[in-house]
C-alpha cells in the first residue's frame, strides 16, 4: 500500500529564513511527484511537478528534489515571506493503478 | 490562465438532506476527478471520469453518493442523505488524457458543513 508521509506536520519560522519540507513515500514505482500549496479553506495550487526520471525542479524561490530510490522528496523555500504561510501537500502518482496519493500536509507559518 | 470552476464555494445543510456540487473542468481536459478532504488530512479520491465514463469509483460510498458527467464536460456530485461525517472540502480536478507530464489542476473546492 502506498503511503505518503510529510514531516513535520506543522512548522513556524521567522521571516527571511530558508526552510525545508519533507515528504516520504513507501512505493518507489511512481510516475511523478507533485507539490501543492493550500491556503485555509481554499483549493490546491500546483507548485512543482517532478517526473520520476528527474532529480529536481525549480520555480522562483522554490526548489523540489526527488530521490526515488530512497522514497524521499524535499521542498526548499528560500528567503521565506509571510505570504508563504499555507499548508504544503505532496502527492505521488503511482504506476500500478495510476492513482494519486496525497500526504497529510505540512502547515507552515512564517512569522513577520 | 485556465481554471477548474466549482460551485457553490460553501454549503451548509441539515443531516438527511440532499446536497449537490458542480464542477466545470478546464476545456479539453477529458479526465475529471472528485476528491474529498477532511480537515487536517490530504485529499482522497472519490471518483474518476474519462469523458462521460466512470473509470474508478471504488472509494465512493455508493449508498449515498452519486456522480455523473453526462456530456463528458461538467460534472455533478450528489449526496443523499447527507450525514454529519460528510462535512469536508470537496475538490474537483482535471487533467489531459493519460497525462503524467503536467499533473492535475484543482478547483477552489466546496466546503460542506452538515449540521
Cell readout for A40 is 485555509
Closest partner CB to B109 (pick from A42, A51, A100): A42
Inter-chain CB proximity B106 and A44 less than 8 Å: yes
* Cα–Cα distance, A48 to A34 (Å, whole number): 6
Res B91 pLDDT > 80: yes
Contact B98, B50 (CB under 8 A): no
Smallest CA–CA distance from A88 into chain B, residue: B42
The strand pairing partners of B49, in sequence order, are B32, B54
User: How confident is the model over A79-112, as pLDDT tens digits?
Assistant: 999 999 999 999 999 888 878 899 999 999 999 9
Chain B residues near residue A30 by CB distance under 8 angstroms: none
Smallest CA–CA distance from B57 into chain A, residue: A99
Residue with grid cell 521565506, as numbered in its chain: A80
Res B106 pLDDT > 80: yes
Chain A residues near residue B93 by CB distance under 8 angstroms: 44
Look up residue B64 and give its DSSP letter. Answer: T
- Between chain A and chain B, how many beta carbons pairs sit less than 8 Å apart? 51
Higher pLDDT, A76 or A99: A76
| Helix, strand, coil share (%) of chain B residues, nearest 5 | 5, 50, 50
User: Any CB–CB contact under 8 A between B50 and chain A?
Assistant: no
Contact B81, B93 (CB under 8 A): no
* Cα–Cα distance, B96 to A89 (Å, whole number): 22
Cell readout for B86 is 460528510
DSSP string of B5-26?
Answer: EEE-SEEEE-TT--EEEEEE--
- Shortest distance between the Cα of A46 and any Cα of chain B, in A, equals 7
* Cα–Cα distance, A42 to A6 (Å, whole number): 20
User: How confident is the model over B42-89, as pLDDT tens digits?
Assistant: 999 999 999 999 999 999 999 999 999 988 899 999 999 999 999 999
Amino acid at each position: 500500500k502506498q503511503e505518503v508521509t510529510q514531516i513535520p506536520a506543522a512548522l513556524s519560522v521567522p521571516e527571511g529564513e530558508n526552510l525545508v519540507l519533507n515528504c516520504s513515500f513507501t512505493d518507489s514505482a511512481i510516475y511523478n511527484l507533485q507539490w501543492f500549496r493550500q491556503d485555509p479553506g481554499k483549493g490546491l495550487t500546483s507548485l512543482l511537478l517532478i517526473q520520476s526520471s528527474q532529480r529536481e525542479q525549480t520555480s522562483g524561490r522554490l526548489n523540489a528534489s526527488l530521490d526515488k530510490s530512497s522514497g524521499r522528496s524535499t521542498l526548499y523555500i528560500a528567503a521565506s515571506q509571510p505570504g508563504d504561510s499555507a499548508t504544503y501537500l505532496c502527492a505521488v502518482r503511482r504506476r500500478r493503478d495510476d492513482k494519486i496519493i496525497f500526504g497529510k500536509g505540512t502547515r507552515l507559518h512564517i512569522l513577520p | 490562465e485556465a481554471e477548474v470552476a466549482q460551485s457553490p464555494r460553501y454549503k451548509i445543510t441539515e443531516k438527511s438532506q440532499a446536497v449537490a456540487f458542480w464542477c466545470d473542468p478546464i476545456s479539453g481536459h477529458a479526465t475529471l476527478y472528485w476528491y474529498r478532504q477532511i480537515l487536517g488530512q490530504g485529499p482522497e479520491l472519490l471518483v474518476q471520469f474519462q469523458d462521460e465514463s466512470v473509470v474508478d469509483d471504488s472509494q465512493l460510498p455508493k449508498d449515498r453518493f452519486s456522480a455523473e458527467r453526462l456530456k463528458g464536460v461538467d460534472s455533478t456530485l450528489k449526496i443523499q442523505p447527507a450525514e454529519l461525517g460528510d462535512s469536508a472540502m470537496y475538490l474537483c480536478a482535471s487533467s489531459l488524457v493519460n497525462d503524467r507530464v503536467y499533473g492535475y489542476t484543482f478547483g477552489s473546492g466546496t466546503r460542506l458543513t452538515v449540521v
